[in-house]
Each structure stands twice: as C-alpha cells, then as structure tokens.
Amino acid sequence: MGLRLYNTLTQRTEEFRPLHDNIVRMYTCGPTVYHYVHIGNFRTFAFQDVLRRWLRARGFTLDHVMNLTDVEDKIIRNAVAQGKSLRDYTAEYEQAFLDDSAQLRLERAERVVRATEHIPEMAEAVRSLEQKGFTYETEGSVYYRIGKFPEYGKLSHSDFSGIRAGARVDKDEYEKADARDFVLWKARKEGEPYWDSVVGPGRPGWHIECSVMSMKYLGETLDIHTGGVDLTFPHHENEIAQSEALTGKQFVRYWLHAEHLIVEGQKMSKSLGNFYTLRDVITMGYQPEAVRYLLISVPYRKKLNFTFDGLKAAATSIQRLRDFELRLKTSRFADGRDAKVDERSAHALRQFEDSLDDDLNTAEALAAVFEYIRDINTAMDAGDFRLGNVDGALGLLERFDEIFDVLKPTTDASSISEADVETLIADRAAAKRARNFSRADEIRKELLDRGVVLEDTKDGVRWKRK
C-alpha cells in the first residue's frame, strides 16, 4: 500500500495519487505577516514540511506554492496606526518568518509569493465572477453571493441552505455561525491603502488572494491544499466557492488540515495573548531542533499540548538519537554480520515507512525508531552487533533524519556574531583603559556565557568559540 492521507473534503483516508505524472501540485496558506509568527503557526508549517519530505521520499516531485498574506484587515489596521506603508510594515515580519522557518529547518516551498504582487489578477478574477453572475456590488465593494453556489459548505460539512440572501460580511475572518455573502473586493476607504483596478479602486478580500495565487501557478485543479484547521471555514470554503465558480472544475483533490497547538486547553493565538514565538523559546535556552521535534512528534491531526516539559523531553529524545549515532560511528565492532540484527534493522525501517504512509503517523514512526535503538543497544552490549550491521543501522537513521532532521546540532542558533564579539572586545579594551576593571570582567563573563573564550596575549586579545 502506498501513501494514504486524510482528506477533509471526503472525510476519509485515501490513497494519494497526483493528477499528472508524479508531480504534486500543492498550495499552502502562508502566514499573515502582521506580527512574528508563533510556534502554534509553526506547528502547521512543520506538518507541511513533513508532508513535503515524505512525498519526496516516496518518489514524487514537488511543485509547492506558499503565499505570504501581506494585505489584509489586521495588517492595514497596524500599518495605518504606525503611519507606515504596507511594504515597510510587513517586510520585517516576512523576513522574520523566513529566518525562523530556516531555524526550524523547514524547507522553502518551490515558490513563495506575495499577495500584493498579484492585485491586478485578483481584480480580474473578481470581474470574471461578476460576469458569471456570482456577485453583487454595494457601495463600491463586491460580494460573493453564496446562494449561487449550491455546494457551499461541502468542505466544512455544514448546511448553509437556510442562510438569508443578501446578508453580508466584510471582515476577512468570521465564524461558521456568521456564514454570509463574503467580500471579494473592498471599496477604497479614506486613509487606507488601495489599488485602482478593473473593478474600481479598493483592495482584495483575503479569500480571493489564495484562489488567484494558487491557480495562477498550479493550474485549475491542485493536488493538495493545506492549512490549519481554523482555515477550513470560512477561508477554504470560500476559496472553493470562488475557484470552482470561475473554472467549473474541481479546485482541490486532497484538503489537508493540521490540528492546533494548544496551551492549557486553548488554541495558541495572538488574540488570546497565550503565544510564544520561536525567538522567545530560543532566548529561554531551547534549541530550535527541540522545537521542531516537539512540533512534529504528535501526528498532525491530533491536538498538540505545548508545555516546557514537553520541550525538555524533546531535547532528551534528540540526545538519545545522537548518542546512538555516535555509538554506531565510533565503536569498534567485531567483524562479521549478524543476520538477526540485520533483520531487526529492516523491520524497523519497514515500520517507520509504514507509519508515515499511514497519514503521516509521526508518533508511530518515532516509536519504531526508539524501540529499535533500545534493542540494538542491548545487542551491542551483548556483543551481537557486528561491523557488517553498521550500514543497516545507519541507513535507518538516515531515513529517519531525511524527515525529522534533528540529528545535526544547531551550532550558532543563539551564538553571537563575529561583529558583536569584536565590538564587545573593543568595549572591554576601552573599559580597561578607563581602569574600569569590573566592567572589563563583566564583558569577559558575558562573552563566556555566550560561548566565546578570550585569551589575552602580548599581541592583543585572541578569541575562540568554546
């Protein structure tokens, strides 16, 4: 059996096959860049990373698009409040997102695209929907008439047939209970950014952004569309309504949604204020790979309860894996090859792969690896593990790390840059010249805490990383 994935649309776990050849056309709703992304958001992006890696391990080629939502209600509110242009406001958070993603070893999608760079296409799509009779206009804003799309509700499995015609919603985010005709194009408002377009001056609604960017790059029918569960309604429901009204074709074949990361029973979110960014957690002394491990250790369709104990346990698990790798690579094993050990390695590999094929069951995949490590350590202690068995064991670890990617330590995550070291050394020299020796000592200690050792020589100060 091949890879099986749970499809929100059909509510079934289905064998995955791309529409064309072995190329997977996949779209991910990226972050809204109005703030630092928190580790709850990263749970969803980490799931996508596992999906990408496992699809590739199974021989597929990826064409993956992730958007950056850089125009939307919250961004405009904040940018206007700070008197900044949209671009100036979002640039910092966009870069932070890309940097944090890299720290978490999340592969970059083949294409990362900004909403603001597709405004004319979005306006064209709105006009097309107008021409097909799916919209109406009120005071310069254009709305999607959900009553015109009989399948509205098919993704969130809700019956919206009783909805009062003509009731509208202008906000980008709202609850199922507020299902209404939603806004496609928002009329220009005094003091807000706007674009002149074929449907008049204004700006796109959030939902049309993703329909347009996904179909532009991936065609009218995508293989996979992903996001967090909170996007199922209204965002993805609206994407379907827009895209299928435009093309008359199925928009997405497999809809995949990641469950939330929660804190004390509640979704981690900016609005609740119960969030940590990756930067927060790294400052507290945790390694990014421990965060990565924690985020992907729970299968993506289960809620993940975030605790610092969980993060510590993740770090311990990574250490066990690294210790095992070190033992494999540095011990002197007796010549020969033990058939039982080889069989054990092959079995663990099968279990690992079967678990991931089963809708990316990362918890079972990890269990297979840790049981294996326990058994092999026992075999090593007993002298049963031979030189010829090393390859099989390393092969399993390699396969594991293709997906989990936690074996290599992050060397410079929290470490100080060369330029900062030089600055502090100069400060220390100045402090000494001023005979402020306590300050000079303080700087030496600060550098030491950050992994830098100073050595005073007759040629000046030399430094190295611990």
* Interface ranges with Zn ion (CB under 5 A): 29, 210
Buried b (16+ CB within 10 A) or exposed e, 266-281: ebbbbeeebbbbbeeb
Q: Interface with ligand AMP includes 205 (CB under 6 A)?
A: no
Q: Interface with ligand AMP includes 109 (CB under 6 A)?
A: no
End-to-end CA distance of the chain: 49
Q: How far is the CB of 29 from Zn ion (least distance, A)?
A: 3
Partner interacting with residue 268 (select from ligand AMP, Zn ion, none; CB below 5-8 Å by kind): ligand AMP
Q: How far is the CB of 37 from ligand AMP (least distance, A)?
A: 6
Partner interacting with residue 41 (select from ligand AMP, Zn ion, none; CB below 5-8 Å by kind): ligand AMP
Helix axes 362-381, 308-330, angle to 10 degrees: 40
Partner interacting with residue 40 (select from ligand AMP, Zn ion, none; CB below 5-8 Å by kind): ligand AMP
User: What is the C-alpha to C-alpha distance for residues 173 and 153, in angstroms, rounded to an integer?
Assistant: 16
Q: Interface with ligand AMP includes 269 (CB under 6 A)?
A: yes
Q: How far is the CB of 218 from ligand AMP (least distance, A)?
A: 18
Q: How far is the CB of 114 from ligand AMP (least distance, A)?
A: 14
Partner interacting with residue 44 (select from ligand AMP, Zn ion, none; CB below 5-8 Å by kind): ligand AMP
* Pairing assessment for the beta strands 23-28 and 222-228 based on DSSP bridges: parallel
Task: Pick out residues in 415-454 that bind ligand AMP (CB under 6 A).
Answer: none
Question: How many residues line the site for ligand AMP (CB under 6 A)?
Answer: 17
Query: How far from chain centre, in Å, is Cα 107?
Result: 9
Partner interacting with residue 260 (select from Zn ion, ligand AMP, none; CB below 5-8 Å by kind): ligand AMP
For residue 142, the cross-strand partners are: 137, 185
Q: How far is the CB of 236 from ligand AMP (least distance, A)?
A: 10
Partner interacting with residue 210 (select from ligand AMP, Zn ion, none; CB below 5-8 Å by kind): Zn ion
Binding segment for ligand AMP (CB under 6 A), chosen from 223-231, 239-247, 365-373, 396-404, is: 223-231
User: What is the C-alpha to C-alpha distance for residues 434 and 432, in angstroms, rounded to an integer?
Assistant: 5
Partner interacting with residue 261 (select from ligand AMP, Zn ion, none; CB below 5-8 Å by kind): ligand AMP
| Burial of 55 from C-beta contacts in 10 A (0-12 / 13-18 / 19+) | buried
Among 32, 90, 141, 287, binds ligand AMP (CB under 6 A): 32
Q: Which is nearer to ligand AMP, 48 or 197 (CB)?
A: 48
Q: Interface with ligand AMP includes 46 (CB under 6 A)?
A: no
Q: How far is the CB of 206 from ligand AMP (least distance, A)?
A: 9
Among 5, 9, 29, 245, binds ligand AMP (CB under 6 A): 29
Task: Pick out residues in 48-107 that bind ligand AMP (CB under 6 A).
Answer: none
Triad 240, 143, 152: Cα angle to 5°: 30
Partner interacting with residue 79 (select from Zn ion, ligand AMP, none; CB below 5-8 Å by kind): none
* Pairing assessment for the beta strands 252-258 and 266-267 based on DSSP bridges: unpaired
Among 153, 204, 205, 227, binds ligand AMP (CB under 6 A): 227
Helix axes 206-218, 119-131, angle to 10 degrees: 100
Partner interacting with residue 342 (select from ligand AMP, Zn ion, none; CB below 5-8 Å by kind): none
Q: Which is nearer to Zn ion, 225 or 292 (CB)?
A: 225
Any idea of the CA torsion for 388, 391, 396, 397, to the nearest 10 degrees? 120
Partner interacting with residue 52 (select from Zn ion, ligand AMP, none; CB below 5-8 Å by kind): none
User: What is the C-alpha to C-alpha distance for residues 185 and 196, in angstroms, rounded to an integer?
Assistant: 11
CB 215 within 8 A of CB 244: no
Q: How far is the CB of 103 from Zn ion (least distance, A)?
A: 24
Binding segment for ligand AMP (CB under 6 A), chosen from 11-19, 124-132, 267-275, 397-405, is: 267-275
Q: Interface with ligand AMP includes 297 (CB under 6 A)?
A: no
Partner interacting with residue 153 (select from ligand AMP, Zn ion, none; CB below 5-8 Å by kind): none
Q: How far is the CB of 139 from ligand AMP (least distance, A)?
A: 27
Q: Interface with ligand AMP includes 232 (CB under 6 A)?
A: no
User: What is the C-alpha to C-alpha distance for residues 26 and 303, in angstroms, rounded to an integer?
Assistant: 23
For residue 304, the cross-strand partners are: 261
Residues that bind ligand AMP in the complex, under the rule CB under 6 A: 29, 31-32, 40-41, 43-44, 227-228, 230-231, 258, 260-261, 267-269
